[in-house]
Amino acid sequence: MEQIVSFPGLGIGEFTLNRVAFSLFGKPIYWYGVIIAVGFLLAITYAIKRSKEFGLDADRVLDVIMGGAIGGVIGARIYYVVFSWADYKDNLVDVFKIWEGGIAIYGGIIGGFLVGALMCKWRKVRLLPMADLVTASFLLGQGIGRWGNFVNVEAFGEVTAGPLRMCSPSAANYLLNQGLIDNATAQQILEGTLGVQPTFFYESVWCLLGFLVLAWFTKKRRYDGQMTLLYAAWYGAERAIVEGMRTDSLMWGSVRVSQALAAFLTVVSVAALLYFHFKIKKANDSEYMRLYVYSEEAQAILRGEFYPKKKTENAEEQVPAPQPEEAVQESSQETPTQQEETASAVQEEGSGQG
C-alpha cells in the first residue's frame, strides 16, 4: 500500500505515499476515494450556491446532480470496459468490480450528461442552464480528483528528463512490465536522472484554472449553452495534448480514444462558439438568445411560485367560527313563551293610555 515518490528536478527528495487514509470497522478507506469525495462535495456546494444566477431551484438542481453522478459512475465504467474488453471478455464478473479500478473520465462526462438530461426532464429543470451551471463544478471536481491518481502513482506520462519529472519504483516497474522501457531506463528512473511526466498535475492545474475562468465568466455569459461549449473547448484542448503523453491510454487500434474525442470536441465547440458569436452580433438585438434567468418562468422559480406546492395530506376542513354579529343575533332570539309574555305586556301598557 506504500509507494516511494520523488521530484529530483524540483529538489524534492523521496517520500512515502500510503494509499490507505484510515480504517473503518476494519476496512481500509483509500485516499483516492476520499479525494474524489471531497472534490464531489465541493463541486455540489458550488453548484447549489450559484443556482439562482441561472434561474434554477436549488433543491431540483441537487436532484439532477445526484442522478447525474450515478450516471457518471456507470458511464465511466462502461467506457473503460468497452475499450479494455480484452481484459474482461473471459471473466465477465470482473466488469462489476469497479472497486478494483478502471474508470474513464470521458465516459463519466457522457454518462453524467445523459442521465442528467433525463433527470432535468423528470424534475422540470431547463437543460442548457443546468449544463452551464455544472460546467465550472465539473472542472473543480476534476482538478481536485486528479490528486487521487497521484496518491496511487498512476495516470502518469512518458519518460522525461524535464524538471517536473516524477520518479517512483512503481512507475519504473509498470513501464518495464508493459515493455515501454528497458532495464537501463528503469535504472535511471530509480536513480532520479530520468522520470515520468506528472500528467495528473498538468490536468489538475488546467482544470482548476478553467474553474476560475468559468466562475468569473458566469456573470458575463451571453446565451444559454455558452459555458458548456467553453468547458468542452477548454478541457478538450488540454486532454488532446496531455493524453498524448499518457502511458495508459485506452486504445482503439492505434488511436488514443480519449485524445481523438477531445480533439473532436474542441474543434466542434470552438466552431459553435464562433458561429453563435457572429450570429448574435449580426442580430444586434439585446433580446436575441436572451438568458433563461431573465425569463418570466425563471423569475417565478426564484420567487418560489413556479413549481406547485405540496398539499397537506388528510387535512381536515375547519368550520369557520361564528362572527360576533351572528352571535349577537342568536342571543337576541326569543322563545315562543317569551314572545307571548312580551305581547301581553304591550297590551296592558296600551290599555292604560287615553
pLDDT at 351: 43
CA distance 226 to 229: 5
Phi, psi of 255 (to 5 degrees): -100, 130
Domain parsing of the chain, residue ranges:
2-56+126-232
- Please give the chain's pLDDT, 354 residues, in tens: 789 999 999 999 999 999 999 998 988 999 999 999 999 999 999 999 999 999 999 999 999 999 999 999 999 999 999 999 988 988 888 898 887 778 898 999 999 999 999 999 999 999 999 999 999 999 999 999 999 999 999 999 999 999 999 999 999 999 999 999 999 999 999 999 999 999 999 999 999 999 999 999 999 999 999 999 999 999 999 999 999 999 999 999 999 999 999 999 999 999 999 999 999 999 999 899 999 999 999 999 999 999 987 665 454 445 454 555 444 444 445 555 555 554 454 444 444 444
For 174, the grid coordinates are 509498470
Residue-level pLDDT at 328: 44
pLDDT at residue number 35 = 96
Return contacts of 268-274, CB within 8 angstroms, 24+ apart: 268/232, 269/229, 269/230, 269/232, 269/233, 269/236, 270/233, 272/229, 273/226, 273/229, 273/230, 273/233
Q: Report how far residue 175's alpha carbon sits from residue 159's, in angstroms, rounded to the nearest whole number.
A: 9
pLDDT at residue 20, as a whole number? 92
Q: What is the pLDDT of residue 244?
A: 95
Cβ neighbors of 13 (< 8 A, separation 6 or more) are 6
pLDDT score for 313: 46
pTM (2 d.p.): 0.84
CB burial of 4-33 (b: ≥16 within 10 Å; e: otherwise) equals ebbbbbeeeeeeebeeeeeeeeeeeebbbe
- Give the model's pLDDT for residue 87: 86
For residues 9 and 194, give the distance between their C-alpha atoms in angstroms, rounded to a whole number.
9
Q: Residue 341: what pLDDT?
A: 52
